[in-house]
Amino acid sequence: MLEKQNWKSKLAHSFKNIKDLYLYLGWPLSDNINDVASKYPIFIPLSLATKIKEEGPEGILAKEFLPSHLESDRDFNSFGLIDPIGDKSYLKAPQLIHRYYSRALFTPTSICPVHCRYCFRKNELSATEDIFQNDFEKTLQYLKDHAEISEVIFTGGDPLTLSNEKIEFYLNSFEKIKSIKHIRFHTRYPIILPERIDTGFIEMMSRFSEIFKTMSIAIHSNHLNEFDESNSNVIKLLATTNVQLLGQTVLIRGINDSENALIELFEKFIELKIRPYYLHHPDRVHGAMHFYLPIARGRLIYQGLRQKLPGWAIPQYVIDIPEGHGKTPAYNPEDYQYSGKLISKDGRIVDLKEPDLFV
């Protein structure tokens, strides 16, 4: 088993100041990048900063996690949204987003182990935002009043930022609500700060996997370069429990928008007993539109995956329709081109034209 490690100390000593980070990297810091970081702050653990330094300024990890002048580009940003998937429209109780009939998102923290530059909540990751305001008794009451909710999905921020004791408190509380049968965590910690997956966490997940019908951990990763021996070993340990491991990936322009990059990633998932679950078309995020790519291009890439991988190794390719309309399949077996229409979660046809800049 893992020895108990001081992951909180490593989290606390992450780079939060752009000047300190670039001094460590030994790279020149432009005024433009400094200005971007003042609006969209950085948060990068030392271990990740070391990997970024080894890859260089044009590496995949630098593109994923370091500020870009394109984050302040007016042409791109004119198409971006502050709340791209309509979180606030479905905030039904404190820290509880009820967008789908049988599932509810629980947002107990705004803190992540890294700030991803493409993040769909990059404009919302503040403890003062409505979706993070805490009144847990009201949260529990809503869940009790809505027995159709059978799955609680921990999101954020990153829910593994919470201590084992706090997570256990929440799980014990949800266990008492008979209609809740499934628990899911969405996290980057196993990849970014694997020390977080300590003995206590493993034991807790194993214990609650015997209480709930399913316990799932959706591990977020976008590229093979994010993996190393340390995080691979931690994920292998997680795979020895009864916890279901799922893989969540965002299709990102300039990062993984090729068949080969995604095939390498999904083969790594399979090797580590992670089931590829979602491949997300990038959301229309204010400050991250330079990562966007046309749906027609995404469909061509996905078709390549269908040709080269077995069905069980391919995630669902989905897009989140803005304003809270929810996820819908992004692949169309009839046409690569995008008509501008998507089917919402309640079966309605939604008009969503792509900006000319991205066609």
CA torsion angle for 317, 58, 291, 186 (degrees, to 10)?
A: 50
Among 30-34, 85-89, 103-107, 252-256, which is the least confidently predicted range? 85-89
Residue 1: which pLDDT band, with cuts at 50, 70 and 90?
very low
CB atoms within 10 A of CB 28: 8
Q: Which domain holds residue 12?
A: 7-75
Residue 180: inside a domain: yes
- Answer yes or no: do 202 and 331 share one domain: yes
Residue 50: inside a domain: yes
Question: What digits encode the pLDDT tens for the residues 273-327?
Answer: 999 999 999 999 999 999 999 999 999 999 999 999 999 999 999 999 998 889 9
How many percent of the chain have pLDDT more than 90?
Answer: 87
Question: What digits encode the pLDDT tens for the residues 16-71?
Answer: 999 999 999 999 999 999 999 999 999 999 999 999 999 999 999 999 999 999 99
Residue 2: inside a domain: no
pLDDT higher than 80, residue 355: no
Question: What digits encode the pLDDT tens for the residues 257-270?
Answer: 999 999 999 999 99
- Answer yes or no: do 126 and 13 share one domain: no
Residue 151: inside a domain: yes
Look at residues 45, 75, 105 and tell me which one is the last residue of a structural domain: 75
Look at residues 75, 103, 119 and tell me which one is the last residue of a structural domain: 75
Supply the pTM of this predicted model: 0.95
- Answer yes or no: do 141 and 254 share one domain: yes
pLDDT for position 128: 76
- Answer yes or no: do 253 and 351 share one domain: yes
Name the one residue in this structure whose structure tokens are 């990562």: 291
Residue 11: which pLDDT band, with cuts at 50, 70 and 90?
very high
Strands, E assignment, the chain: 91-93, 96-100, 103-106, 151-154, 182-187, 214-220, 244-250, 275-280, 316-321, 326-329, 341-343, 349-351
Residue 247: inside a domain: yes
- Answer yes or no: do 131 and 200 share one domain: yes
Question: What digits encode the pLDDT tens for the residues 200-236?
Answer: 999 999 999 999 999 999 999 999 999 999 999 999 9
Q: How confident is the prediction for the chain on average, in pLDDT?
A: 94
- Answer yes or no: do 265 and 299 share one domain: yes
- Answer yes or no: do 33 and 83 share one domain: no
What's CA 38's distance to the chain center, in Å?
23
Look at residues 29, 51, 75 and tell me which one is the last residue of a structural domain: 75
- Answer yes or no: do 70 and 87 share one domain: no
- Answer yes or no: do 177 and 215 share one domain: yes
CATH number at residue 272: 3.20.20.70
Instruction: Please name the helix (run of DSSP H) or strand (run of DSSP E) that holds residue 207, with its range, or none.
Output: helix 199-208
